[in-house]
Structure 1
Amino acid sequence: MAETKSASAQSASSQAHAETAVEDLTAQIAALREDLTKLSRSMAAVGQGAKTVVTEEAQELTDQLRERVRQEPIFMIAAAAGIGYLVGLLSRR
């Protein structure tokens, strides 16, 4: 009879320990989900910032190129023809 009570006490203790472990895991999973949500938002903000920087740089380069074409149209036409010629040579191979 004492063995039955001991086994029953151990079973209850094991069950309580298992329930505690499940609660801990549930809390950890909730914390991980929250962390992933925060990380996702941060990465979206970083991506948006990078997009803005790249867009501004592209606009700056485009403006510089337009200004250079206005200043030196003959040179730019020759440069475009030379680049076209090189691309043509490379595409034949």
Structure 2
Amino acid sequence: MAETKSASAQSSSARAQTETAVEDLAAQVAALREDLSRLSQSLAAVGQGATSVVAEEAQEITEQLRERVREEPIFMVAAAAGIGYLIGLLSRR
């Protein structure tokens, strides 16, 4: 009978430890989910910032190219023809 009480006490202790471990795991999972949520928000903000920087750079380069074409139209036509010729040669191979 003493063995039954001892086994029952051990079983209760094991259940209590298991419940504590499960609660701890649930808290850790909740914390991880919160961290992942914040991380995804941070990544989205970085992505939006990078997109705006790239868009501004592309706009600036486009404007510089337009200005150069206005200043030297013949040179730009010749350069475009030369680049097209080189691409044509490379695409034949």
Question: For the superposition of Structure 1 and Structure 2, which TM-score range results when normalised by the shorter chain?
Answer: over 0.9
1:73 and 2:73 correspond: yes
Structure 1 counterpart of 2:4, one-letter code? T
Q: Structure 2: 5+ residue runs without aligned partners?
A: none
Q: How many residues align?
A: 93
Match of 2:83 in 1: 83
Match of 1:53 in 2: 53
The CA deviation string for residues 4-30 of structure 1, in whole angstroms up to 9 with x for no partner, is: 111110000000000000000000000
TM-score normalised to the size of structure 2? Answer: 0.98
- What root-mean-square deviation, in Å, do the aligned CA atoms of Structure 1 and Structure 2 show? 0.4
TM-score normalised to the size of structure 1? Answer: 0.98
Identity %: 80
Matches of 2:35 and 2:71, distance apart in 1: 54
Moved over 6 A (4+): none
